[in-house]
Amino acid sequence: MALQVSPHMPVRSPGRRRTIPLRVLPIPHECPLPVRLQALSRSRWFHSLDERQLRALDARMTRCSWGAGETLFRAGEGADALHIIAEGRVRLSQRAADGTERATDILGPSMPLGAVGVGRRTVQRETAEALVDTCALRIEQAVFHQILLEHPTVAVRVVEAVTDRLSQLQNETGGWMTRPVAARLAAVLLRLSVRLGRDRGHRGILLDVPLCRADLAGLTGSTPESVSRVLSRWKEEAIIDSGRRWVALLDVEHLRRTAAEGWDGAVAVGDEPRLRSS
């Protein structure tokens, strides 16, 4: 039984000790059937299938697992298969012009991972790294194409997901970088809260994923220093709570207003709603 790297490391703050409140979940490397079926049933691609169909789909997949910090694949490698994350957290990144790796997305359970093949050699556009111990279901591109032919509703879901992703990218490239850092950061936090948020009542919505300032800077197209300044101000104003590698949203409405300022696009995009209660 493999465990995620424990996030419960003490963090000093004036007058008291604080811990990182992220969950430590046991993730068995064999990725048991109930976990796999739950991931498939909640997937945007496959949620329309019944249990019998999901079990048949699972039988055509293989199980993979990675430890925290391990690379799943790198940009430029051949994309001969797709993955559905069963448990864990995965960071996608691309190499910037200065040679540094910048985070482009954070994925969680039930979300698809990898480039979708279109009948010719497909390569990965991003590098994927496990933020915590992660298990996933691997499906070969040829098998995936056959599933699309067998299940037209799945094909429609895949087309919708790809279209939504392209629309999001067009919105962001069209005016994303001209918006204030605070607006971009609010939009990113809201998106992550939909995917990976854990509702803790009066303690806010915890983003249940270890995030450093560099990750948030990459997701917002900003710098770690700019992100830290905004987070510090929001923390003083009780809009968020935060610490070493964690953020909790306390005033979601304020973040929504901030994200929507001067923006006509969607500000909180989540492929798989994952909000949970403590």
Cβ distance 241 to 204 under 8 Å?
yes
- At which residue do the structure tokens 């995030």 appear? 211
CB 207 within 8 A of CB 242: no
- pLDDT for 147: 96
Q: For residue 93, list its beta bridge partners.
A: 103, 127
Distance CA 174, CA 177 (A): 8
Q: Distance between terminal CA atoms of the chain?
A: 23
Paired residues of 277 in beta bridges: 199
CA separation, residue 239 to residues 103, 251, 253 (Å): 24, 5, 9
Backbone angles phi, psi at 10, to 5 degrees: -65, 140
* 205-256 pLDDT tens trace: 999 999 999 999 999 989 999 999 999 999 999 999 999 889 999 999 999 9
Per DSSP, the three-state class of 204 is coil
Contacts for 251-259: CB closer than 8 Å, 24+ residues apart: 252/190, 252/193, 252/205, 255/186, 255/189, 255/190, 256/186, 256/190, 258/182, 258/183, 258/186, 259/183, 259/186, 259/187, 259/190
- The pLDDT assigned to 217 comes to 95
Q: What is the pLDDT of residue 117?
A: 76
Q: Is 269 exposed, middle or buried (0-12, 13-18, 19+ CB in 10 A)?
A: middle
pTM of the model: 0.82
Q: Bridge-partner residues for 65, per DSSP?
A: 135
- The pair of three-digit structure tokens given for residue 210, joined into one six-digit string: 């270890």
Which DSSP symbol is given to 227?
Answer: H
Give the residue ranges of the chain where pLDDT is below 70: 1-20, 23-29, 118-120, 169-176, 262-278
CB 21 within 8 A of CB 104: no
The pLDDT value recorded for residue 26 is 52
CA distance 141 to 109: 20
How big is the CA angle at 35 (ends 34 and 40), to the nearest 5 degrees?
95
pLDDT of residue 259: 93
Quick one: tokens of 154?
């799945």
Residue 179 has a pLDDT of 85
Looking only at the bridges linking them, the beta strands covering 26-27 and 127-130 are unpaired
